[in-house]
Amino acid sequence: RMILQQGSSLYVKLHNGGNYLNTVILNENYACYTNSDECKVDTVRVVKVGDYYYEYVRPACVEHAFFSDAKKITKDSTFNTPNTCANPRLPYAMEACCDEGATGTNINAVRNYVYDGERMTFNDAQIRCGNIENKTLCDFRQVQSPEFKTGYHWTTANCAIKVKITEEGEVAIVYDISNRRGAQEAHVSEESLNYFKVYWDDDTYPQTANNCSNAPECVGLSGGGCQCSTMVVNSAVFQTMPNTAEEILSELVIGAMDPEAFDIGIYTIYQSTENFTAYAINDAIDTSTIFKVTDAMSRSFFLKNVKSVVQIGSNNSFRNAPHFMSMIEDSWPYGIGETTLRDAEYETEAVLDHYFYHPNVAPFLCTRFIQRFGQSNPSPRYVEACATAFRNGFYITQSQGYGAGEYGDLSATIASIVMDREARTPVLDTDPSAGSIREPILKVTSLMRALGYTQNERVPTVRFNDMSTKIGQMAHSFETVFSFFLPEQIPNSGPLTAASLTSPESIKLEMPLIIGMLNGFFSLVKYGLSDCRIGFGVYPGSGSCAEDGSYERSLGSLTFGPSTISVRVSASKDDAEESSSGSVDLTSSDLELVTDGSRGSQTVGMRFNNMVIPKGATIIGAYIEFEVDEVKSENTSLSFYGQSDDNPSAFSSQSKNITNRPLTDASVPWNDVPIWGATNQHHNTPDLSPIVQELVDRSGWISGNSMVIIVNGTGKRTVESWDGESGAAPLLSVTFTSDTKSTPIGRNSLEIIDNLSTLLTSGRLSEFNKELIKEEFESKQGDTQGALRLATQLILSTSEFQTTNSVVNPTGVARQDGNDQTLKGDGYKALVYLYFDGGCDSYNMLAPHTCPDRINAEGQTINAYANYLAIRGQVALTNQTSLEVDASNSLQSCTSYGLHPNLPFLQRLYNESSILFVANAGLLVAPVDKTNYRELTPTQLFAHNAMNRDTKRVDLYNMYGGTGVVGRINDMLTKRGYVTGAYSISGNDVTLAGQPGKSPAASILSSSGVAPFNEDPSITDMNSKVIAVNGEMSADSSFYGETWSDALALSISQHTTLYNALQSPDANTHVVFPTTSLGNQLEVVAKLIKIRNERGTERDLFYVRTGGFDTHSYVIPALAARFDEVNAALEAFVDELKFQGVWLNTTIVQFSEFARTLNPNGNDGTDHAWGGQHFIAGGSVLGGKILGTYPEDFSESTMIGLSRGRMIPTTPWDAILNGVAEWCGVTDQGDLGTVLPMKGNFPSESIYNMSEIYA
């Protein structure tokens, strides 16, 4: 730290009159204090001001990776401490001063610093040493400095910066340090694998094929590639003034400080225009010139008029790469380097800025914003208008402006979306391709808003439960970083598929989610927000699930029309009799109203709990329903009161506990009570509205409180009590309304349905559906509340509610849910497609174990296991821990390979010859090597989304758009007359998608199986009515409506079949499965296989997945956890199939989008690669061997070796799937060409037929 003197202008600024601030921004230059240490230093780090310390945080700066005249720096001892190199022009090390003329290897040095920890340039270090008599900067052996002093010191030893070049043109920096005594930092050593991309001029670079460009200081590397010396050449880009800001921005890439930060008079304005200003030294346009330029997004930059090029020989060069983080690393305990959290944050900010201001950001975001606002397929013009508003930060429509004029202004962006003609014109309401399927959570919230959801006031927040499982979406609960939907999602069948139109929300049209949504909707309508019948809510702690308008088990309810709440006495202490003497009976088996023999004329109390009525609601009607316990005919007159209390307590045995309670002013007489001529009859009191109204108008009333009704009078009527028959205890029914929340009920059935249509579908409910719903409404015969609930449920199931398009033209024809088929009769088979999501590090699933030395084509001795250990480093799967499997019967370079130690069951299967591995397999369109793989592989290699999708499709030429490879197997099996079933137990996935109409669509199940649907319907044949309002539509109807209705009908049909079958005791498994994600999925598969006869299928195709394989960090523990789950789940699954006797009839084929780099990264993880190992398992598999070719040389010297051990596959997916498809029953070559449209690009000998995979 440096101590500032009080006269210093910097001291004055920081001292601030003694009012020290935590952060001080220096907005101007401050002259150093004359004759003080401030004028001697290059930079400060920590300064002391009075008794306080300030740390200097410099602005963001980058360095060039390559520079001239590099010098060695090291710590205070050069013997065993790291040696590295530094740019002599930067203040990155301290001085070390030796005696002039000192020679030998044991030179000691002393310090001459201004403050402890001072850093300076190389030149200033020389000056500091020169200021000590007979001292000079040197290449020292030891600095006389306390051990705790850390940091690097300049030496006079030179460094040469070299570069290693891969066969793909990526480079790694190598420091060649003169007179290096200690260790060298690994990231700049000859062993470095820290390759990065550079931009080669003319796209040419030294490589093995051109003899390293014949450059004089280049040598070939044994693993492929070249190592070359470098020379940095800096030159002026502009010799004369450029004409435009765009020209400057396109040519200059090196930043500069604000010229005003330099000493006064160094820079002057050379020329200034509207969009840029040139600052020059001595009025010359040269390498020192700085341009201040403003871009189209109103950002200002200072750019230096320099082009920095790294020259290699005379033929190759590339742009000098910038970096934020210093190459001078911290090296505990040897020294503190120049890497700082500050620069990491600056680099992160720069990356985010780069993304944010990228020209693709505006259209990218606008497309997704517009999709969320209800247009799944916006026109290019619409997207462009939005993107323009985003970039300009301003949008004008009808003379009204939005936005502050800054790039990325969201007010302008959203205004451009909602005010655009494409969002507002009614013309598009008749376009069947316009609109969207609504987001699941928006359907729920729109229903609650439209029908005035009222929350129980005792529960402060709306509480949903497990919405992600039930509907596939919940706020703040993204399943992945890609949000809930895929913007490019196209449904698996229907008009959107035929038109290749996207529908992001259609990814949620899975059977479990459709059933879960309707269950939740129906529950919300009938029971309020609760857990009843798999509702959206949670169990509130009490209450039953009864569709009687009571909502007694809910946390809140919808308020359409006048609401009716019915609450029954629910506990022994909630009804009581008090005799004329004051004694209270809490357990009477009946209630005597009011004379009871020796007890005299009684007073009876009844308490009704959880009365969910808003404070101040208008009470339309109220009554108590009694059930007759004894026949009585004597003259009886009764009077009813309420207890004048906000929330009365239960009754107690205390004397006069009922009559001592305060009564309401309002009372209701029941004179001349009719004769009660039979037991079990129901009788209702007169209207008790005045009493209830007085109670809910009380200042302390809260919705959900209790009410007490007290009865006295003359005569006798005997009714059921809670202790006598709890289900027949007195029932208080209250009908009320709230002007601000209730839905207008209407004067007749059609008007009511019209009102509901307006609220729920913006009036888009078709006339056909109105008539159907009207018929069901009127069937309720005067039960208006029940009819309202039924009509609401039916409307919620229609495509008019579920989508945003108006064009729904029903034909009146019921939807077909599939045709019965006759079994082909050649036995049953099941294919399980197991996907390891995230890119499995399969080089640690199956690794070399015992490998003889071999002579390669170049005559070199190589060993696959040694090569594997060398490149895998600390993440290698060694033969001390792996589970050995014999490969002597396989055409591999090793006699045995090792399985991951957490996969013992796979070793067991291998030894049983029930599993085989396919080595170095991956997605290919044709055989390729490093010379042509980029041109011949039309996908985004190494990208999750693209490789995931294309691995499951195996159709890079898009011959059968929107289909998956297993879906096409299903198509061909159906074509050949097989009765098939396709089931995804892990979401709506393209793997099982076939061509529209070619085969039965896949059923999507959850890993917990199949939940019941509409368990307590409002009418007996309600499911058929739900399908009826989703009947066939004409071709000009909404594409989205058709997609919803078709998915709904199919889901209900599939659900009925599967639910009934899975509920059978015959579906129970013998083996106990692990309760993991994969275990649960495979248990469902095992159950479905067990009930294959009930389902009537002879070919079943299953999709299951397990995630967590994207191991960018800590791959060893991550893989151990993943493989533990896989091992246990597969063991249970196979054991169950063996018990069922169908293991011989089952194949498990495993895939992952890509393998991972053999060379680990700095976080002990591995990154995206390509070819890897996969397996096929089954009772009929010809196992115990390894197909394909497991690499033995992982370096870039081979034609399939890319940087960091990324291997180009030598076996295509087609090779695996061809034999599997044949085993399933697809044997015709033309059909196989449909399943695998790329397999014709490969030699026939590289495609496995069934006999090579199966016994």
Q: What is the pTM of this model?
A: 0.69
Distance CA(254)–CA(321), nearest Å, equals 10
Check: CB of residue 63 under 8 Å from CB of residue 91: no
Q: Does residue 1178 come out as left (phi exceeding 0), alpha (psi in the -120 to 50 range) or beta?
A: left
Check: CB of residue 701 under 8 Å from CB of residue 695: yes
Mean pLDDT score, 1056-1067:
87
Q: Length of the chain in residues, anyone?
A: 1255
Is the pLDDT reported for residue 820 higher than 70? no
pLDDT digits (tens, 9 = 90+) for 133-176: 999 999 988 888 766 667 889 999 999 999 999 988 999 999 99
Is the pLDDT reported for residue 239 higher than 70? yes
In the block, tokens 């205890």 appear at: 729
pLDDT digits (tens, 9 = 90+) for 1205-1245: 999 999 999 999 999 999 999 999 999 999 999 999 999 99
pLDDT value of residue 1249: 96
Residue 400 DSSP label: E
Check: CB of residue 1184 under 8 Å from CB of residue 899: no
Is the pLDDT reported for residue 1201 higher than 90? yes
Check: CB of residue 437 under 8 Å from CB of residue 1043: yes
pLDDT digits (tens, 9 = 90+) for 118-129: 999 999 999 999
Mean pLDDT score, 380-407:
95
Single-letter code of the amino acid located at 128: R
Q: Where are the alpha helices (DSSP H) in 206-310?
A: 245-251
**Residue 399 C-alpha from the chain's centroid:** 41
Residue 231: C-alpha distances to residues 319, 410, 733, 1155 (Å): 12, 47, 92, 38
Residue 816 DSSP label: P
Residue 1240: C-alpha distances to residues 531, 919, 1133, 1211, 1243 (Å): 55, 21, 35, 14, 7
pLDDT digits (tens, 9 = 90+) for 602-640: 999 999 999 989 898 888 778 999 999 999 889 999 999
Instruction: Dig out the tokens for 312 from the structure.
Output: 């290699």
pLDDT value of residue 1061: 85
Instruction: Dig out the tokens for 658 from the structure.
Output: 């009922």
Check: CB of residue 1055 under 8 Å from CB of residue 515: yes
| Mean pLDDT of all residues belonging to the chain | 92
Is the pLDDT reported for residue 333 higher than 60? no
Is the pLDDT reported for residue 791 higher than 90? yes
Other beta carbons less than 10 A from residue 197's beta carbon: 12
Q: Which residues contact 1060 (CB under 8 A, 6 or more apart)?
A: 1094
333: preceding bond cis by omega (within 30 degrees)? yes
Is the Cα dihedral 139, 141, 146, 150 positive or negative?
positive
pLDDT value of residue 479: 67
- What is the CB-side half-sphere exposure of residue 282 using CA atoms within 13 A? 3
Distance CA(372)–CA(1032), nearest Å, equals 27
Mean pLDDT score, 676-680:
91
Distance CA(247)–CA(511), nearest Å, equals 57
Instruction: Dig out the tokens for 449 from the structure.
Output: 């808003």
Check: CB of residue 706 under 8 Å from CB of residue 583: no
pLDDT digits (tens, 9 = 90+) for 445-472: 999 999 989 888 778 889 999 998 899 8
In the block, tokens 């070390």 appear at: 96
Is the Cα dihedral 181, 182, 183, 189 positive or negative?
negative
The helix, strand and coil proportions of the chain, stated in percent and rounded to the nearest 5, come to: 30, 20, 50
Instruction: Dig out the tokens for 94 from the structure.
Output: 């301290």
Backbone angles phi, psi at 1207, to 5 degrees: -100, 130
542 closest CA partner among 571, 521, 573, 575: 571
Is the pLDDT reported for residue 334 higher than 60? no
Q: With pLDDT > 70 as the criterion, what percentage of the chain qualifies?
A: 97
β-strands 1211-1212, 915-922: how paired? parallel
Q: Which residues contact 404 (CB under 8 A, 6 or more apart)?
A: 393, 394, 411, 412
Single-letter code of the amino acid located at 1242: F
Single-letter code of the amino acid located at 947: M
Distance CA(952)–CA(486), nearest Å, equals 16
- What is the CB-side half-sphere exposure of residue 694 using CA atoms within 13 A? 16
Paired with 622 in beta bridges are 734
Residue 861 DSSP label: E
Residue 196 DSSP label: B
Instruction: Dig out the tokens for 678 from the structure.
Output: 């039979």
Q: With pLDDT > 90 as the criterion, what percentage of the chain qualifies?
A: 74
Label residue 814 by pLDDT band (50, 70, 90): confident
Check: CB of residue 269 under 8 Å from CB of residue 278: yes
Residue 1228: C-alpha distances to residues 285, 975, 1225 (Å): 74, 11, 9
Start-to-end Cα distance in the chain? 77
1034 closest CA partner among 819, 813, 795, 817: 813
Is the pLDDT reported for residue 1010 higher than 90? no
pLDDT value of residue 962: 81
Three-state secondary structure call for residue 717? strand
Single-letter code of the amino acid located at 667: S
594: preceding bond cis by omega (within 30 degrees)? yes
Paired with 137 in beta bridges are 97
Distance CA(966)–CA(831), nearest Å, equals 9
pLDDT digits (tens, 9 = 90+) for 271-328: 999 889 999 999 999 999 999 999 988 899 999 999 999 999 999 999 999 999 999 9
Instruction: Dig out the tokens for 1183 from the structure.
Output: 């196992």
pLDDT value of residue 184: 83
Residue 601 DSSP label: B
Check: CB of residue 638 under 8 Å from CB of residue 674: no
Distance CA(976)–CA(989), nearest Å, equals 24
Distance CA(705)–CA(615), nearest Å, equals 10
Distance CA(1146)–CA(1138), nearest Å, equals 10
- What is the CB-side half-sphere exposure of residue 606 using CA atoms within 13 A? 27
User: SS3 for 1063-1095, per residue?
Assistant: HCHHHCCCCCCCCCHHHHHHHHHHHHHHCHHHH
**Residue 953 C-alpha from the chain's centroid:** 22
Single-letter code of the amino acid located at 573: K
Single-letter code of the amino acid located at 355: Y
β-strands 637-643, 663-670: how paired? antiparallel
pLDDT value of residue 1058: 87
Query: Which H or E run includes 695?
Result: helix 689-696
The helix-helix angle for 1039-1063 and 511-527 (nearest 10°) equals 90
